């Protein structure tokens, strides 16, 4: 018996016992952690099962009104739906959040709801929401900005111009917006004659030589002679597609011969031989391969503000809503307008 107590007090035995206790604690902690992880996975899985198929409006109402989750997760879910283009579900979530928060002042949710209606194309509903926001919070530039966009898309340019007044009072720069809306109003007015329309557009253009693409696209369509007369040659690059598609009989060779960019452009198109090369790669290729390649120019446009690219020209970026921010990007493409039987090198 005494021998047992001597061994029990042996330091080696104490060390073995110490490590055995550590092993047992570690083993229990490991399996407890695994168990908790499985339980958490099951709990999250049960929650996510509700969204494997989109929840109905009634299900959303129950889920939001029971208060099981705070407002923030629902806002994140709505934002995810919005980014995926599922505007119907986004609208339902915002409506249910507003319904559950009637007594508070949910300006943020109302703004997001109005923005979603605008994005989805429900302009009248969007307008009513932004007007409601401004009725209680008139100094809200974001709501004013979207209300202006709504009026613009509805082609109510007088109302859009009125929105600019409070924006100016809030310290926002409105010069470009003003000229842009004035130009849109003139272009859409079917009551004024073509000559008067041209005069009004030139009056807007001569204020600061902005909106070149917007105004001169129209001018070159209806009166190329007037367009050439008033064109600022420092901005011809913005009109590359318009000038490239201009019919031969409407070319002004005197002006073309005085401008390097125009000489290269129309030499690349094959109308004149005023340039043997060009610093613009696409022009240079077309000049050197003139009549030996079935090629032409293609056009893409990029917004200088948000860097979003579009396959078509635009006056206001649909992504960031910047005005007159488009820059043209050229590329070579096959010319399908040439005669099918014409012998030429294949160019793809």
pLDDT in tens, the chain (348 residues): 455 444 556 667 677 777 788 878 887 888 887 877 777 666 656 655 554 455 555 555 555 555 555 667 778 888 888 888 888 888 888 888 887 776 565 788 899 999 999 999 999 999 999 999 999 888 899 999 999 999 999 999 999 999 999 999 999 999 999 999 999 999 999 999 999 999 999 999 999 888 999 999 999 999 999 999 999 999 899 899 999 999 999 999 999 999 999 999 999 998 999 999 999 999 999 998 876 667 889 999 999 999 999 999 999 999 999 999 999 999 988 876 654 444 444 444
> What is the maximum span of the chain, computed from C-alpha positions, in angstroms?
122
DSSP state of 330: E
Spell out the residues 6+ positions from residue 20 whose beta carbon is closer than 8 angstroms to its own.
none
Spell out the residues 6+ positions from residue 101 whose beta carbon is closer than 8 angstroms to its own.
71, 109
Which domains does the chain carry?
Answer: 57-172 (1.25.40.10)
CB 174 within 8 A of CB 160: no
CB 306 within 8 A of CB 287: no
Interatomic CA distance for residues 92 and 329, integer angstroms:
40
């Amino acid at each position: 018996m005494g021998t047992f107590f001597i061994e029990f007090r042996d330091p080696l035995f104490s060390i073995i016992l110490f490590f055995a206790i550590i092993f047992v604690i570690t083993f229990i902690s490991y399996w407890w952690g695994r168990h908790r992880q499985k339980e958490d996975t099951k709990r999250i899985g049960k929650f996510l099962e509700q969204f494997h198929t989109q929840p109905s409006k009634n299900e959303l109402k129950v889920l939001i009104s029971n208060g099981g989750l705070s407002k923030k997760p629902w806002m994140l879910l709505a934002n995810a739906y919005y980014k995926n283009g599922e505007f119907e579900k986004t609208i339902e979530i915002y409506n249910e959040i507003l319904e559950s928060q009637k007594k508070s002042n949910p300006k943020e949710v109302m703004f997001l709801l109005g923005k979603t209606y605008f994005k989805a194309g429900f302009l009248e509903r969007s307008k009513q929401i932004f007007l409601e926001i401004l009725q209680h919070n008139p100094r809200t530039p974001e709501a004013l900005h979207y209300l202006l966009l709504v009026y613009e898309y509805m082609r109510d340019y007088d109302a859009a111009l009125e929105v600019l007044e409070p924006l100016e009072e809030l310290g926002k720069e409105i010069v470009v917006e003003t000229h842009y809306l004035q130009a849109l109003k003139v272009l859409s007015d079917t009551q004024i004659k073509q000559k008067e329309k041209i005069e009004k557009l030139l009056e807007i253009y001569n204020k600061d030589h902005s909106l070149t693409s917007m105004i001169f696209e129209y001018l070159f369509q209806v009166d190329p002679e007037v367009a050439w007369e008033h064109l600022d040659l420092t901005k011809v690059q913005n009109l590359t597609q318009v000038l490239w598609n201009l019919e031969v009989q409407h070319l002004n060779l005197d002006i073309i011969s005085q401008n390097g960019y125009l000489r290269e452009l129309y030499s690349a198109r094959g109308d004149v031989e005023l340039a043997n090369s060009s610093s613009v790669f696409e022009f240079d290729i077309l000049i050197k391969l003139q009549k030996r390649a079935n090629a032409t120019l293609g056009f893409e446009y990029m917004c200088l503000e948000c860097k979003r690219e579009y396959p078509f020209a635009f006056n206001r970026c649909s992504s960031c809503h910047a005005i007159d921010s488009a820059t043209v990007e050229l590329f070579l493409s096959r010319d399908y307008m040439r005669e099918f039987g014409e012998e030429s090198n294949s160019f793809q």
